[in-house]
């Protein structure tokens, strides 16, 4: 009976820790975002690559 009580308490604690972590990730993503950094990162796939002629 006591072990079940310990597991119930641990489950509650892990739920609170997980939810707090989730809220922290949301805050980091949406509240602390830097538009300039996101725009630069989003443009990387479209950047022209320098072609090296060493392989020819």
d(CA 41, CA 56): 31
Quote the pLDDT of residue 42: 84
- Could you give the C-alpha distances from 37 to 12, 29, 44, 48, 55, in angstroms and in order? 37, 12, 11, 19, 34
pLDDT tens per residue across span 5-42: 888 889 999 999 999 999 999 888 887 777 777 788 88
Quote the pLDDT of residue 13: 94
What's this model's pTM, rounded to 2 decimal places? 0.53
DSSP assignment letter at 27? I
Q: Between these two residues, 5 and 50, which has the higher pLDDT value?
A: 5
d(CA 38, CA 44): 10
Quote the pLDDT of residue 50: 64
């Amino acid at each position: 009976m006591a072990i079940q009580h310990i597991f119930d308490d641990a489950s509650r604690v892990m739920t609170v820790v997980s939810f707090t972590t989730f809220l922290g990730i949301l805050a980091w993503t949406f509240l602390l975002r830097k538009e300039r950094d996101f725009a630069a990162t989003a443009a990387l796939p479209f950047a022209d690559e320098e072609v090296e002629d060493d392989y020819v």
